[in-house]
């Protein structure tokens, strides 16, 4: 089939208005981090599962490969087309209906293109918590979250997207529809296909809908920010938080001082506590104190403690109970010297402001310039030693590099990122140093038996690294699965595994 015939066939399925070939297609063709710009044959926007199936059948018959796309917020260049102009971007954005909330079963069934925040809000309106939460929630989709097995800030309590999913509806590479939307919590009838598609980054099938777990809304969600004297102290604080808050501990995020400094620099309107002053002397936590700021607006790297931690306590009893728990936790932590100072949000607005500081780090880092991301996981107990070793090795080998260290310490996932030296051309630095820096960091990650991709996936950016960091046995099994489910390599070719 020639190009005109393919476009005609696609238009017949989804309508002329939903086959985009002209105008500014940057939003579909460029990745969020601006690492690569591709060129699509067309962007196709089906609105129903049968339309998705028909598009896949049409592309498969024509030998056209498909790049599934949700909100295009992925971090590893997995959702944009290559530069060939021959791939179809299959956007799921119009397939966005909330199908059903089953309160008694504590589940919601939702279509893949539903924006995560829309889903959270719709569930909350019916009195339920859908706990997946990440800074991109205003634009990422539940289908993208499933396809990448996204983590986010609540994993310490609720797990990754995988743990929240009870069933999927998938369009296969052949254009068949698999309806696995059972909502069952127990089902041992052979291989669990759902888990093959979750985290497969659009390479095995197109997720069109999912049945996800819901939780009762807690009575209160209290947030605190603690300044800690070291990463060791942050890990010690995590142990205390588990002990004092138990299942109430729903968030435990760490932020290095340089990462916080970037937020000060690029978002000076945000009030970042503990900044611009000497490390706060140990004392009573400032219970009920609002984020105070007090920093020089452009004082990168000048916060008073090397690390800060955001903690969240979700309580099903009362706010008073949650505050008392926090008080006891922070007092114990001060006594043990693992917290220097702390603020506890007084109200929702203050809690949001504290979370907003944490969630602004990726944006602040993007504004600072192109950068190298390492989304790694290591056993929590070994993280301080890893960071000490990696910091020293990087500074010795690449003097002046700026380390942007933050992440989901509660589940052992660090965003151990590297920014070019302040006086370097970021683009040149990336071209010449990204390879050697990745090699150094990932070799150390291997030594610590960690993972080179904790939550962002592999996409194209990490595809060639995978071969060096995954066992040959695992790689062979992955290849066999890909060949079995997508023998003609129609779905997101050259992502995760080399084509
Ligand atoms: P896309 O970027 O469109 O696609 C991602 C991958 O999934 C691609 O390979 C694509 O082909 C595939 N895909 C998309 N939809 C489907 C579908 N329906 N069926 C099959 N394949 C599909 N990630 C985290 O894990 N944790 C975080 O805390 C986090 N924070 C972020 C903060 C910011 C500011 C940003 C920009 C990103 C963040 N991310 C985070 C990364 C990103 O948001 C997640 O990976 C998210 O799950 C991607 O969803 P999306 O809809 O944008 O998917
Ligand atoms: C985060 O935790 O903020 C995200 O995973 C995004 C990032 O690492 O930049
Ligand atoms: Zn993250």
What is residue 246's DSSP assignment? Answer: G
Burial class of residue 81, CB neighbours in 10 A (0-12, 13-18, 19+): buried
pLDDT of residue 274: 85
For residue 113, the ligand 1 atom closest to its alpha carbon is 18
| Reported confidence tier of residue 299, pLDDT bands at 50, 70, 90 | very low
Distance of CA 408 from the midpoint of ligand 3 (Å): 6
> Using a 6 Å cutoff on CB, does residue 310 contact ligand 1?
no
pLDDT of residue 1: 78
Task: Inform me whether the pLDDT recorded for 286 exceeds 50.
Answer: no
* 484 Cα: distance to centroid of ligand 3 (angstroms): 32
- Region of poorest pLDDT, from 124-133, 199-208, 229-238, 296-305: 296-305
Residue 448 pLDDT exceeds 70: yes
Q: What is the number of alpha carbons within 13 Å of residue 102 lying toward its C-beta? A: 15
151 CA closest ligand 2 atom index:
5
Q: Is 312 left (phi over 0), alpha (psi -120 to 50) or beta?
A: beta
Out of 35, 73, 135, 457, mutate this one to test ligand 2's pocket (max ligand atoms within 8 Å of CB): namely: 135
Give 369-447's CATH code, choosing from 3.30.70.2740, 1.10.3720.10, 3.40.50.1000, 3.20.20.100: 3.30.70.2740
Q: How long a stretch of residues is the chain?
A: 499
Report how far apart, in Å, the C-alpha atoms of 26 and of each of 2, 29, 50, 71 are. 25, 5, 27, 13
- Look at residue 353 in the predicted model and tell me its pLDDT: 97
Model pTM?
A: 0.95
pLDDT of residue 302: 40
Identify the nearest ligand to the CA of 81 by its number: 1
Taking residues 154-166, what's their average pLDDT? 98
Q: What is the pLDDT of residue 154?
A: 98
**226 C-alpha vs ligand 2 centroid, how far in Å?**
20
Residue owning the nearest CA to atom 2 of ligand 2: 407
| For the CA of 132, the nearest ligand | 1
**Residue 207: phi, psi to the nearest 5?**
-75, 125
For ligand 2, atom 4, which residue shows the shortest CA distance? 362
* 458 Cα to the center of ligand 2, angstroms: 15
Q: Is 135 in the pocket of ligand 2 (CB under 6 A)?
A: yes
The CATH class that applies to domain 220-362 reads alpha beta
CATH ID of 98-216, from 3.20.20.140, 3.30.465.10, 3.10.129.10, 3.40.50.720? 3.30.465.10
Ligand 2: distance of its center to the CA of 22 in Å? 32
- Cα distance between residue 145 and residue 154, in whole Å: 14
pLDDT of res. 281? 31
Using DSSP's 3-state secondary structure scheme, residue 429 falls into helix
Give pLDDT tens digits for 240-249.
Answer: 999 999 999 9
Q: Which atom of ligand 1 is nearest to the CA of 459?
A: 9
251 CB within 6 A, ligand 2: no
Please give the average per-residue pLDDT across 135-157, as a whole number: 98
* Lowest model confidence (mean pLDDT) among 105-114, 196-205, 283-292, 371-380: 283-292
Residue ranges per structural domain of the chain = 3-91, 98-216, 220-362, 369-447
- pLDDT value at residue 435: 96
Q: State the ligand closest to the CA atom of 365.
A: 2
Give the ligand 1 atom nearest the CA of 32.
Answer: 36
Which structure tokens are listed for 141? 């989709």
For residue 156, give both structure tokens. Answer: 């310490």
Look at residue 105 in the predicted model and tell me its pLDDT: 98
What is the mean predicted confidence (pLDDT) over 54-58? 98
Let me know if 230 is exposed, middle or buried by CB neighbors in 10 A (0-12, 13-18, 19+): middle
Mean pLDDT of the chain: 94
Cβ atoms within 10 Å, residue 436: 11
Average pLDDT over residues 392-410: 97
> Which are the contacts of 76, defined by CB distance < 8 A and separation ≥ 6?
453, 456, 457, 458, 459, 460, 461, 462
363 CA distance to ligand 3 centroid (A)? 12
Task: Tell me the CA distances in angstroms from 483 to 140, 171, 477, 480, 490, one per residue in order.
Answer: 29, 16, 10, 5, 11
Q: 3-91: what fold?
A: 3.30.43
Lowest mean pLDDT among 134-138, 214-218, 293-297: 293-297
Residue 283 has pLDDT above 70, yes or no: no
Ligand nearest, relative to CA of residue 456: 1
Q: Is the pLDDT of residue 279 over 90?
A: no
Q: What is the pLDDT of residues 367-385, one digit of tens each?
A: 999 999 999 999 999 999 9
| Residue 304: band (very low, low, confident or very high) from pLDDT cuts 50, 70, 90 | confident
Please check the confidence at residue 20 and state whether its pLDDT lies above 60.
yes
User: Quick one: average pLDDT of 442-452?
Assistant: 98
Spacing, Cα 6 to ligand 3 middle (Å): 39
The minimum-distance atom of ligand 1 relative to the CA of 142 is: 51
User: What pLDDT was estimated at residue 287?
Assistant: 39
Residue nearest to atom 6 of ligand 2 (CA): 362
* pLDDT, tens digit (0-9, with 9 covering 90-100), for 91-110: 999 999 999 999 999 999 99
307, 232 contact by CB (below 8 A):
no
Distance CA(207)–CA(492), nearest Å, equals: 13
Please check whether the two domains, 220-362 and 369-447, share a CATH topology: yes
Whole-number Å distance, alpha carbon 415 to ligand 2 midpoint, is 7
Determine whether the shortest distance from the Cβ of 363 to ligand 2 is under 6 A: no
Q: What is the pLDDT of residue 277?
A: 43
Average pLDDT score over residue span 70-81? 98
Q: Please indicate whether residue 362, judged by its CB atom, sits closer than 6 Å to ligand 2.
A: yes
């Amino acid at each position: 089939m020639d190009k005109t015939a393919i476009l005609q066939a696609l238009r017949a399925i989804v309508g002329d208005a939903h086959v985009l070939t002209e105008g500014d297609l940057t939003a579909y063709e460029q990745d969020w981090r601006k690492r690569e710009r591709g060129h699509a044959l067309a962007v196709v926007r089906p609105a129903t599962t049968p339309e998705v199936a028909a598009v896949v059948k049409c592309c498969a018959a024509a030998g056209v490969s498909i790049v599934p796309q949700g909100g295009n917020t992925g971090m590893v260049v997995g959702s944009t087309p290559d530069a060939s102009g021959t791939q179809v971007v299959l956007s799921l954005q119009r397939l966005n209906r909330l199908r059903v909330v089953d309160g008694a079963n504590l589940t919601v069934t939702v279509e893949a293109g539903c924006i995560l925040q829309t889903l959270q809000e719709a569930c909350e309106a019916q009195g339920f918590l859908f706990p997946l939460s990440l800074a991109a929630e205003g634009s990422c989709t539940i289908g993208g979250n499933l396809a990448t097995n996204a983590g986010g800030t609540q994993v310490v309590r609720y797990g990754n997207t995988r743990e929240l999913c009870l069933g999927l509806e998938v369009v296969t590479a052949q254009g068949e529809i698999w309806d696995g939307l059972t909502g069952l919590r127990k089902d041992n009838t052979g291989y669990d296909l759902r888990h093959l598609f979750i985290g497969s980054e659009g390479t095995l099938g197109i997720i069109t809908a999912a049945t996800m777990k819901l939780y009762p809304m807690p009575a209160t969600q209290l947030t605190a920010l603690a300044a800690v004297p070291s990463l060791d102290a942050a890990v010690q604080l995590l142990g205390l938080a588990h002990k004092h808050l138990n299942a109430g501990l729903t968030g435990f995020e760490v932020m290095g001082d340089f990462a916080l400094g970037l937020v000060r620099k690029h978002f000076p309107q945000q009030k970042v506590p503990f900044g611009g002053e000497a490390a706060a002397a140990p004392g009573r936590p400032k219970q009920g104190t609002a984020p105070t700021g007090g920093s020089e607006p452009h004082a990168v790297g000048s916060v008073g403690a090397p690390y800060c931690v955001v903690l969240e306590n979700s309580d099903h009893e009362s706010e008073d109970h949650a505050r008392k728990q926090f008080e006891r936790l922070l007092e114990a932590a001060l006594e043990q010297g693992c917290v220097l100072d702390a603020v506890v949000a007084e109200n929702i607005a203050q809690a949001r402001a504290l979370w907003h500081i944490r969630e602004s780090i990726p944006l602040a880092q993007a504004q600072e310039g192109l950068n190298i991301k390492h989304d790694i996981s290591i056993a929590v107990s070994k993280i301080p030693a890893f960071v000490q070793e990696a910091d020293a090795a990087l500074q010795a080998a690449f003097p002046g590099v700026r380390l942007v260290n933050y992440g989901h310490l509660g589940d052992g996932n660090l965003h151990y990122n590297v920014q070019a030296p302040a006086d370097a051309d970021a683009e040149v630095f990336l071209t010449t140093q990204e390879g050697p820096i990745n090699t150094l960091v990932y070799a150390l990650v291997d030594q610590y038996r960690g993972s080179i991709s904790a939550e962002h996936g592999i996409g194209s950016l990490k595809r060639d690294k995978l071969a060096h960091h995954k066992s040959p046995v695992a790689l062979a099994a992955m290849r066999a699965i890909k060949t079995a489910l997508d023998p003609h390599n129609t779905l997101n070719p050259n992502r995760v595994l080399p084509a």
